[in-house]
Structure 1
Amino acid sequence: MDTKVESLIIKFLTKEANLEELQQLELWISNPDNESLFFEYIRTNAFINFAMSKYDKKAAKTNLVRRIKQEKNSFYYSSKIYNAVKYTAAAMVVGLLTTMYFFRNDIFNTDKKNIPVITNNSIEAGTDGAILTLEDGSVVSLEKGASFQTQNANSNGQQIEYKPGKQETAKVAFNYLTIPRGRQFFVKLSDGTRVWLNSESQLKYPVTFIEGESRQVELVYGEAFFDVSPSTEHKGAKFTVINNAQKVEVLGTEFNIKAYKDEDHVYTTLVEGKVEVSASAVKQILKPNEQSNVNKLNNSILVEVVDVKAEIAWKDGIFSFKGKSLKTIMKVLSRWYDVNIIFENKDLESVKFKGVLDKNQTIDEVLSIMKSSTIDNYEIKDKTIILK
């Protein structure tokens, strides 16, 4: 394939193409002689385990051209492109091809016994939302499209931002931000620290921090990504994240903590900077690209090098599963889609899956992708998914 065309495809998939480039790609893909080149490129470079030869390429081309035209008409491009292009491109390709092809029963298996049973196909992807508990104990539901304001904070329903301020007294007022299953949320603390919260998480934090003293928040449970405001901007005040299993002390850095109530391990992944992880009397210094694994049962700490981009992809709308077991993956999906998972076939729990998925897809689209290589069959019944 011509390198210029390859560049056009990548720019389109990552929403970086300008209007002229969209027009060039539309013209190229409209040529029947280029169909096989396009599909071979997708199959080779997007890590998609599909039986491409069974696809209706004519219908696919029609849908692709339609999507390009929609892009041209709206001509909207996100100002924040996820820095790992390979994950974004792969996830978008998955979403694109899912939309195009999954209505076809012959993609994976024409045997009627293996056609998924869907009693209620209304399980959509999660969205922004949270429950805010104020210092006086009152509770506010923060939902997409609804605004909320206090003396110290403003929310548009998708995020909440606290006004910069200095606490002059020893009495600190705390807020709680609780993220239910099927939701995610963003908060900017009064010191400028930014926190992305995943589904089924809770964060406790001061409305304002005491000037000159250590800044401390508590990840009560769940998963959060922290982009900490440097200590140099706060008279050297360190930043600390605690929970019931560990303490993480930082000076100014980016890191992810995963500490769910129903899991026996707490994972801290360092993106940049330097942190010290403490569990009981054990301490470990993390370097970028390292992840600590704290065993809550015996307070031991293991450290290993990980693929950081895969670990934090969730905050950018992507599930990146690299050799994860189905049992682990289904826990993640159950929180985002707010569903229950039943393994009718227990052998599936240990089966590994490697792939990149778009968090905006419906649960049926996600399971259909996995069915191509991992799951024999499944049933969706109300808010329960049965893997067979």
Structure 2
Amino acid sequence: MDQKIEKILVKYLMNAADIDDLEILSNWLKKEENKQIFKNHVKINYVMDSNFNEFDVVSAKEEYLQKIRLKKRRDRKLKTYNALRNAAAVIAIGFASVYLLNEFAFKEATAYGTSTVVNSQIEPGTDKATLTLEDGSQIALEKGSSLQTQNANSNGEEIVYEADKKRGKEVVYNYLTIPRGGQFHVVLSDGTEVWLNSESQLKYPVAFIDGESREVELIYGEAYFDVSPSTAHKGARFKVFNQSQEVEVLGTEFNIKAYKEETNIYTTLVEGKVTVNFGDQQQKLLPNQQSVTNIDQKDIEVRNVDVYGETSWRKGLFSFKSKSLKEIMTVISRWYDVEVIFENSELENAMFNGVLKKDQSLEVLLKAINKTNLISAYEIKEDKVIIK
């Protein structure tokens, strides 16, 4: 498969394709031989869950029409023409993809093991966090609740800090802690957006000091940063600290994964430039690159990665490409707040490729994995999952 088409296909499956990507993919799929290539590629590289069967044409059409309306430097006539053309492209891709995924992702994967569920209906994680204020008091943030302080307000799904025009030289910190089975979005006072994954904690100033370096600390866990550019803050750089690592940026999008039980820190650059510092070592990253900082060996390795897969959690997806079943179950255990036990330790090293939605019950997700025949069966018993 052509590398350009393969990249667009990955973006489509990660919900990251834009209008131009969709048009290219739609035209490419018009050829029958390309439909077969598409089918074979996804069959080999991905296991799709049943929720991908659903494609809301009306909603998708409106979503992409809105994207077109927001595009700059296009005159009104061209916008109208492209809106109709691209809406048709979206619909064509949707029907083609759903048909193909139906054909091989499910009908051919019917021979799989049994499962047992005992008194358990484990639902997916949700937006929730604990906010620790400067005086040490803690406030639970979750859907359906609201909060308003002197510096911030929350609707239960995110917390937004306001720029303090009267701030002095004293830096006051808040902590946002995301439990297992949770996620949360925070907008810092400089406009920087941070998405926090399950089992994560971020330390950050309530307000940054004008013109000085903007510094936050990812104490543990995973976070996606969309940093407000330094040009909007008198040249002030943005830094993220974690253990012995420091990431310095001017304004960009990147992801850091640094869980407590892991010896590696993964920094993935989506847009812009960042510099990763670790001890006396320094590495500059370009888009689509990832640094792997090994705490024990005290070194940094840089490699090219699929950024859409690495950051898909922010868009409500699990994307596993050549991941071991043990790695996958570690991610799943955090999101569903369960303990995973392997009855056969050899299964831990079994490799899996898949794109699965996060907004479904644990049983539905396990059924999708079970269809690969990597595991013969599984058992859900209260808050434990036993892989057999």
The normalised TM-score by structure 1 is 0.76
Counterpart of 1:201?
200
Change (3 A) 1:345 1:72: same
Structure 2 residue 110 is matched with structure 1 residue 107: yes
Shift of 1:115: 1.2
Shift of 1:120: 2.8
**Taking CA–CA contacts closer than 8 Å with sequence separation of 6 or more, which of the two structures ends up with the larger relative contact order?**
2
CA distance in 2, matches of 1:236, 1:51: 45
Change (3 A) 1:205 1:167: farther
Counterpart of 2:325?
326
Q: After superposition, where does 1:240-255 map in structure 2 within 5 Å?
A: 240-255=239-254
RMSD value over aligned CA atoms? 3.7
Deviations 1:153-173 (A, max 9, x none): 110000011112246422111
CA distance in 2, matches of 1:362, 1:45: 28
Change (3 A) 1:186 1:47: farther
Counterpart of 1:124?
123
Residue 212 of structure 2 aligns with an amino acid whose one-letter code is E
CA distance in 1, matches of 2:286, 2:280: 20
Report if aligned partners of 1:46, 1:93 keep a CA contact under 8 Å in 2.
no
The normalised TM-score by structure 2 is 0.76
Counterpart of 2:290?
291
Deviations 1:19-42 (A, max 9, x none): xxxxxxxxxxxxxxxxxxxx9999
Report if aligned partners of 1:167, 1:209 keep a CA contact under 8 Å in 2.
no
Q: After superposition, where does 1:310-321 map in structure 2 within 5 Å?
A: 310-321=309-320
Where structure 2 has 5 or more consecutive residues not aligned to the other structure, the ranges are 1-11, 18-34, 69-89
Counterpart of 2:275?
276
Counterpart of 1:221?
220
Which consecutive aligned stretches of 4+ in structure 1 deviate over 2 angstroms post-superposition? 13-16, 39-52, 70-81, 106-109, 165-170
Q: Give SS of 1:132's match.
A: strand
Change (3 A) 1:76 1:363: farther
Report if aligned partners of 2:47, 2:353 keep a CA contact under 8 Å in 1.
no
Q: Give SS of 2:328's match.
A: helix
Q: After superposition, where does 1:309-388 map in structure 2 within 5 Å?
A: 309-373=308-372, 374-388=374-388
Report if aligned partners of 2:45, 2:353 keep a CA contact under 8 Å in 1.
no
Deviations 1:92-120 (A, max 9, x none): 969x97xx989xxx9324xxxx3101113
Report if aligned partners of 2:203, 2:216 keep a CA contact under 8 Å in 1.
yes
CA distance in 2, matches of 1:89, 1:141: 40
CA distance in 2, matches of 1:50, 1:206: 41
CA distance in 2, matches of 1:338, 1:207: 30
Q: Give SS of 1:47's match.
A: helix
CA distance in 1, matches of 2:272, 2:176: 26
Change (3 A) 1:89 1:256: farther
Which sits farther off after the overlay, 145-154 or 232-241?
Answer: 145-154
CA distance in 1, matches of 2:272, 2:387: 41
CA distance in 1, matches of 2:387, 2:213: 48
Residue 304 of structure 2 aligns with an amino acid whose one-letter code is V
Report if aligned partners of 2:219, 2:242 keep a CA contact under 8 Å in 1.
yes
Counterpart of 1:47?
43
Change (3 A) 1:43 1:368: farther
CA distance in 2, matches of 1:221, 1:360: 24
CA distance in 1, matches of 2:262, 2:295: 9
Q: After superposition, where does 1:177-196 map in structure 2 within 5 Å?
A: 177-196=176-195
**May I ask how many residue pairs the two structures share in their alignment?**
332
Shift of 1:47: 3.4
CA distance in 2, matches of 1:137, 1:385: 36
Counterpart of 1:265?
264
Deviations 1:131-180 (A, max 9, x none): 11111111111111111110111100000111122464221111100000
Deviations 1:49-104 (A, max 9, x none): 9999xxxxxxx9xxx7xx67x876999758689xxx9xx979x969x97xx989xx
Q: After superposition, where does 1:107-186 map in structure 2 within 5 Å?
A: 107-109=110-112, 114-166=113-165, 168-186=167-185
Change (3 A) 1:242 1:72: closer
Shift of 1:243: 1.2
Deviations 1:344-369 (A, max 9, x none): 11011111001100111211111111
CA distance in 2, matches of 1:185, 1:51: 27
CA distance in 2, matches of 1:188, 1:354: 33
Q: Sequence identity, in percent?
A: 53
